[in-house]
């Protein structure tokens, strides 16, 4: 029997990038928030670059006119408002944010190395659902999941991140976390032996039913955050995203913008994957959060099923500086 799961919107500790206290919190809770990773000027510039990308798709999107933010013009979204394709992983916005020292500093502190590879992830954008009801994103309790196969990838493997460009409140919604749930990851194979047998070990997505015992004694939370905060979580932590629990006060603005960024040690990858990553820059291919394997996000079924996807004008090939090239694998 399913139960009613309520999400709590709450303040959580916010740590300085790279602090030891942050690493201890991440190890204990399964997620952590780094404060002020971006300053106000960097955040504002990233938002401008986001609109440059959207308008550059040449479908008629106008940042000043929300009547043009309709689904026929908007890039295809998956999993609660994530834009994964159409060159977004190599947009100027994404490369600008990956290049900011505080961003790589946070991941370097977690992995204890500066030799990192970045994902070519997309961005999360939520349009104002008070203007159009169909823009309302998923309720968080409907798709709580982990992004790591319990049998294919046992133990600690990946830390995912979302760099928030707007405030996270009870009306915007945001990322949902079940604190400490990463510690129960080891028990999942026994609990779901039959179901896991049907999921290929390379598929790093496992969704939990509402009546799962793992959800029964810890309340899911949405951490309240400021623009420029970076949330990083262990891929074994049960999580998702959810719309807010209050009606937004202003229907003229976007509700949420987040840059999806994941950095992993280069030592976890190999020459075959790195070669594909270099070609991905040439082809402007976006990927998932994993940088130790190559998963082409442009081949998601939700993208391939779009019959008129050729209408989107992809951004130009990125011109990378030395640090950015290093994050690719050069």
For residue 214, the model assigns a pLDDT of 67
Write a three-state SS string for 306-321.
CCCHHHCCCCCCCCCC
pLDDT given at position 174: 95
Where does 111-246 show beta strands of DSSP type E? 116-118, 123-126, 145-146, 159-164, 174-177, 206-207, 221-223, 230-234, 239-242
Using CA atoms in the order 287, 288, 291, 292, what is the torsion angle rounded to 10 degrees?
Answer: -110
Range name among 32-41, 90-99, 249-258, 320-329 with the lowest pLDDT average: 249-258
Structural domains in the chain?
8-328 (2.60.120.620)
Region 269-290 average pLDDT: 97
Angle at 241 between CA 17 and CA 179, to 5 degrees: 60
Tokens describing residue 321:
């500086």
According to DSSP, residue 296 is labeled B
Q: Quick one: pLDDT band at residue 1, thresholds 50, 70, 90? A: very low
Out of 58-62, 87-91, 127-131, 315-319, least confident range: 127-131
How do residues 73-89 score in pLDDT, each as one tens digit? Answer: 999 999 779 999 999 99
Token representation of residue 90: 């190599």
Model confidence pLDDT, tens digit, residues 85-95: 999 999 999 99
In this structure, what token pair is assigned to residue 41? 């000027």
- pTM, full prediction: 0.95
Residue 201 has pLDDT above 70, yes or no: yes
Whether the predicted pLDDT of 3 surpasses 60: no
pLDDT, mean over the chain: 93
For 76, which DSSP code?
A: P
Q: Of 130-139, 206-215, 258-267, where does the model show the most confidence?
A: 258-267
User: From the CB of residue 309, how many other CB atoms can be counted at a distance below 10 Å?
Assistant: 14
Task: Supply the angle between the helices 101-111 and 20-29 in degrees, to the nearest 10.
Answer: 60
- pLDDT tens digits for range 209-220: 877 776 767 889
Give percent of the chain with pLDDT exceeding 70: 98
Q: Is the pLDDT of residue 2 over 60?
A: no
Residue 195 scores a pLDDT above 90: no
Structure tokens at 155: 């133990």
């Amino acid at each position: 029997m399913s139960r009613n799961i309520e999400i709590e919107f709450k303040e959580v500790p916010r740590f300085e990038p790279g602090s030891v206290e942050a690493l201890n919190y991440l190890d204990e809770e399964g997620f952590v928030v780094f404060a002020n990773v971006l300053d106000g000027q960097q955040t504002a510039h990233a938002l401008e670059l986001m609109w440059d990308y959207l308008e550059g798709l040449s479908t008629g999107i106008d940042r000043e006119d929300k009547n043009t933010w309709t689904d026929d013009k908007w890039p295809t979204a998956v999993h609660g408002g994530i834009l994964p394709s159409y060159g977004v992983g190599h947009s100027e916005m994404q490369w600008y944010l990956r290049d900011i020292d505080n961003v790589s500093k946070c991941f370097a502190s977690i992995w204890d190395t500066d030799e990192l590879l970045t994902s070519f992830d997309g961005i999360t954008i939520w349009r104002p659902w008070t203007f159009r009801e169909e823009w309302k994103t998923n309720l968080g309790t409907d798709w709580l999941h982990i992004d790591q196969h319990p049998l294919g990838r046992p133990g600690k493997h990946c830390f995912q991140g979302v760099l928030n460009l707007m405030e996270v409140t009870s009306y915007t919604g945001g990322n949902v976390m079940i604190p400490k749930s990463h510690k129960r990851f080891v028990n999942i194979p026994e609990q779901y032996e039959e179901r896991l047998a049907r999921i290929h070990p390379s598929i790093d997505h496992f969704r939990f039913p509402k009546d799962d015992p793992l959800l029964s004694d810890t309340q899911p939370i949405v951490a309240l955050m400021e623009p420029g905060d970076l949330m990083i979580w262990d891929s074994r932590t049960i999580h998702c995203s959810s719309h807010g629990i209050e009606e937004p006060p202003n229907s003229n603005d976007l509700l949420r913008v987040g840059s999806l960024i994941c950095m992993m040690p280069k030592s976890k990858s190999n020459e075959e994957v790195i070669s594909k990553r270099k070609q991905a820059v040439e082809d402007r291919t976006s990927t998932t959060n994993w940088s130790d394997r190559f998963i082409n996000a442009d081949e998601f079924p939700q993208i391939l099923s779009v019959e008129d996807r050729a209408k989107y004008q992809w951004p130009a090939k990125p011109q990378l500086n030395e640090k950015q090239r290093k994050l690719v694998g050069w």
